[in-house]
Amino acid sequence: MAPESLSHMEMHDLARHARRRLLRMHFERRVGHLGGNLSALDAMLTVHHRVMGPADKFILSKGHSAGALYITMWSLGLLADEELASFHADGTLLAGHPVPGWSEHIPVATGSLGHGFPVALGMALARHLNGDPGHTYCLTSDGEWQEGAMWEALIFWSHRKLRNLTVFVDLNGLQGFGSTRDVASMEDLGNRMASFGLPVVSVDGHDHGAIAAAAKANPGSLVILQTVKGRGVSFMENRMEWHYLPLTAEQYATALGELE
Amino acid sequence: MVALAAREPYFFLTGDLGFMALEPLEKALGPRFINAGVSEQNMVSVAAGMARTGAKSWVYSIAPFCYARPFEQIRNDVCINHLPVRLVGNGGGYAYGPMGATHHALEDYGILLTLPGMRTYVPAFDADLEPMVRSLSERAEPAYLRLGRSELTDEARLPTYAAWRELQTGKGAVIVAVGPIAGALWLATRDLIAAERPSIWVVTELGGAAPESPPPALLEALEFAPVLGVVEEHVAHGGFGQHFLHALALLGRSVPALLHAHARGYPSGRYGSQTWHRHECGLDVPTILAGLAECAKTPRVKA
């Protein structure tokens, strides 16, 4: 992972370049799922560039934001442009949801929701009981918290009080077929989680400094990221359809223009 | 498992089960013995995460709570990631008897053997557990251990452990049985004269890197046997019988008349002991032996 932290301006520029590269990768391969990638990208970049150390691990529980993970790896020099060009292609390792066995930066396959968090919990518990160094970071979606397994894991984590695990929640308020409020209300999610006995902090999920500060100051916490689905592209922001749609050429050009 | 704990560190997770059974293991493992509570999905995922760090992890519950409730966690977190999590399901087949259908495991290894890398261990005798635990501990891929009770009262004459073992030779039927029921069949037939005595093979490992590959001595016996009996406390679909006959067909072998004795669910809609359910399904020893005698009257068929 990143050996040294980036400045505020460097992170800002990095995030802008990463957004452009993410859009290009999805546009060239005619792949959707952009909304959740754009809401999660700032957190993934921040955690990898400003928070994580060499012994730390990151698990993307919301596997449908695999594009943002690949772009983060690209930003770290772990993936080349030619490899990004294989996204979603036949014979690729860069599938629409992370697949295992080819990079230590993808510890496990994810995609079906409700799995990454408890797996991260197991990694953290084994390291804790073995006295091994390293922190485990996990990024979940908000709709994912409708899965019962997430609450099983929350009970288990709260009971074990593990401080070598941090779980982020990409609270963009939109899920697959509606808003979280309309489908199965996730209102007051932070207090619901806190009622299980775990510390919960809430930050602007697009403020790199705030994300990094929250992660560093609150090991063993849930960090709720207040995010905007489709963040950075005006016509995508807070629009549920960008959970799915690929970009047209015109839309791609417009989006790039907004990210100059 | 207690002896293993003294030799190497491992994590053992139980889904809130093991009262008056697992206490010695809890004492031996200390903090590495983890009661994960009534949350089998989380338990399996946690075990997968532990295995991902290089640790050895075991998961224990009543069999259906071990493989059915957390099936997606086994599929996604354990098997797709090729992690050596060892699942231990207590009570194979109808072992939980009158506790009811929710506690029976009639389709466990059929389901699990569809998953990449998964190998199932079905100990037939108490003496099988030591070599199995050693093998499971050293295994680098997922595994499922289906526990039952030995049905053999005297294990002194057991051949050396192997996945396929010939318990007795005879000139009658060839019986291939999965797990503990082989012991009951052996006990019931060991004193018969050679002309009437069946050959009995017990199979205790299924699938994985070394799928059903019948040993040459068994294949040879099948060339001359009047009837083949395949016995398993598991439904026919996906069961050992289907795998075995598939293997014989791929080998181009002819098979004698066939009796496949297997679990049939709950034909009467009523419930009882393991013995009662076996009888209702034709899985009890007298019914199996009578069925073999009847089948022996029919001609051989090509697999």
- Separation CA B242–CA B246 (nearest Å): 6
In this structure, is residue A2 part of a structural domain? no
- Do domains B2-147 and B164-302 share one topology? The answer is yes
pTM of the shown model = 0.95
In this structure, is residue A232 part of a structural domain? yes
Chain A interface disruption, residue of B32, B35, B76, B78, most A CBs within 10 A: B76
**Where is A219: in which H helix or E strand?**
none
Contacts of A108 in chain B (CB under 8 A): 48-49, 52, 77, 81
Question: What is the least distance, in Å, from the CA of B38 to any CA of chain A?
Answer: 9
Question: What is the least distance, in Å, from the CA of B141 to any CA of chain A?
Answer: 14
pLDDT at A211: 98
Residue extents of the structural domains in chain B = 2-147, 164-302
Of B42, B52, B82, the CB nearest to A156: B42
pLDDT tens-place string over residues B190-220:
999 988 999 999 999 999 655 567 999 999 9
Interchain contact, B52 vs A118, CB within 8 Å = no
Query: From the CB of residue B98, how many other CB atoms can be counted at a distance below 10 Å?
Result: 12
List the domain range (segments joined by +) for residue A81: 8-258
| Residue in chain A nearest B39 by alpha carbon | A152
Compute the Cα dihedral for A243, A245, A246, A248 and give only its sign.
Answer: negative
Of A107, A120, A149, the CB nearest to B41: A149
Q: What are the tokens at B126?
A: 């108490």
Q: Is A152 on the interface with B (CB under 8 A)?
A: yes
3-state secondary structure chain B: CHHHHHHCCCEEEECCCCCCCCHHHHHHHHHHEEECCCCHHHHHHHHHHHHHCCCCEEEEEEHHHHHCCCHHHHHHHHHCCCCCEEEEEECCECCCHHHCHHHCECCHHHHHCCCCCCEEECCCCHHHHHHHHHHHHHCCCCEEEEECCCCCCCCCCCCCCCCEEEEECCCCCEEEEECCHHHHHHHHHCCCCCCCCCEEEEECEEECCCCCCCCHHHHHHHHHCCEEEEEEEEECCCCHHHHHHHHHHHCCCEECEEEEEEECCCCCCCCCCHHHHHHHHCCCHHHHHHHHHHHCCCCCEEC
CATH of the domain at A98: 3.40.50.970
C-alpha dihedral over A88, A94, A100, A106, to 10 degrees?
A: -140
Right CATH for B2-147 from 3.40.140.10, 3.40.50.2300, 3.40.50.970, 3.30.160.100: 3.40.50.970
Question: Closest Cα to residue B118, out of B126, B106, B128, B108?
Answer: B108
pLDDT at A3: 44
Number of domains within chain A: 1
pLDDT < 70 positions in chain B: 208-212, 299-303
In this structure, is residue A1 part of a structural domain? no
Right CATH for B164-302 from 3.30.70.1880, 3.30.2130.10, 1.10.10.350, 3.40.50.920: 3.40.50.920
Interface confidence (ipTM) of the complex: 0.94
pLDDT tens-place string over residues A55-99:
999 999 999 999 999 999 999 999 999 999 999 999 999 999 999
In percent, how much of chain A has pLDDT > 70?
Answer: 98
C-alpha dihedral over B291, B294, B299, B301, to 10 degrees?
A: -10
